[in-house]
Structure 1
Amino acid sequence: MARFVVAKVGEIPRGEQKVVRVKGREILLLNVDDEYAALLNRCPHEGAKLLCGARVGLLESDEPGRFSYTRQGEFLRCPWHGWEFEIRTGQSWCDPKDTRIKNYDVKIEPGESLAKGPYVAESFPVHVEDSYIVIYL
């Protein structure tokens, strides 16, 4: 699986987010209590940009008239229709069986592991076919 360096650890403060582009995809990188999550920046319902959505928590009740607000900032609400998704997994809380946001693995790696060699240029196979040079990507 290909790795893409998208930000420094201190670049996205706790509770904040940033959109990065990787291979033509807009990916929303979020800091949730100093853990990072990455979601496709598009609601699966009708395509709203999730960057514009509110970060919310979970409202729970064990009986009528009593409730608690927990997991503050761990859910993302679509700005168009209010669908809510768990940030760490992309799971929908409106339609959990069939709907989720594409999420990506995020890892923190030390800088020296990204910069050490040997450096290798990307190469492509080249074939000659009836006097034409063909490159395969």
Structure 2
Amino acid sequence: MAKHIIGSVGDIPNGGRLALVVKGRPIVVFNRDGQYFALLDRCPHSGAKLSLGLLTGILQSNAPGCFRYSREGEIIKCPWHGWEFDIRSGQSYCSPQSVKTRSYDVKVQSGAELENGPYVADTFSVSVESEYIVLEM
């Protein structure tokens, strides 16, 4: 599987997110207490950008009048219809058996680890034709 460097750890503050496009796919990366999670930045219900949604938690109750709030900052709500997804796995809380958004593995690596490769640089032919620069892909 190909690796894509998306930035340094300082680019996403704790509790924050970064929306970007990687190989034509919209991705949103979340920082939760120094752990990083990535989801496809598209709600499977209607296609809204999850990166524009509210980060929240789970409200649970085991008896009337008794509530417990947990997992603060780990659930993203779709900004259009409120569908909720776990940022760790992409699992839906609206229909857990059948709906999920794509999640991606994210690792933090040092520059020393990354420079070992293996990397292959894309190269393109460039020529000058009558004072125009032409890139061939």
TM-score category (smaller protein): 0.7 to 0.9
TM-score, normalised to structure 1, is 0.84
Task: Name the CA distance, whole Å, in 2 between partners of 1:76 and 1:93.
Answer: 10
2:86 is the counterpart of 1:89: no
**What is the Cα deviation at residue 119 of structure 1?**
6.4
Q: CA RMSD in A?
A: 1.6
Look up the SS of the partner of 1:112 in the other structure: helix
In structure 2, the residue matched to 1:65 is 65
In structure 2, the residue matched to 1:40 is 40
- Closer, same or farther in 2 for the Cα pair 1:84/1:117, shift >3 Å? closer
- Closer, same or farther in 2 for the Cα pair 1:122/1:14, shift >3 Å? same
In structure 2, the residue matched to 1:126 is none
Task: Name the CA distance, whole Å, in 2 between partners of 1:7 and 1:119.
Answer: 17
Structure 1 runs (4+) deviating above 3 angstroms are 116-123
How many pairs does the alignment contain? 123
Look up the SS of the partner of 1:72 in the other structure: strand
**What is the Cα deviation at residue 121 of structure 1?**
4.3
TM-score, normalised to structure 2, is 0.84
Look up the SS of the partner of 2:19 in the other structure: strand
1:35-79 deviations in Å (ceiling 9; x for gaps): 000000000000001111000101011100110111111100000
Structure 1: gaps spanning 5 or more residues = 124-137
Look up the SS of the partner of 2:82 in the other structure: coil
Task: Name the CA distance, whole Å, in 2 between partners of 1:120 and 1:92.
Answer: 37
Instruction: Report the identity percentage.
Output: 51
**What is the Cα deviation at residue 120 of structure 1?**
4.8
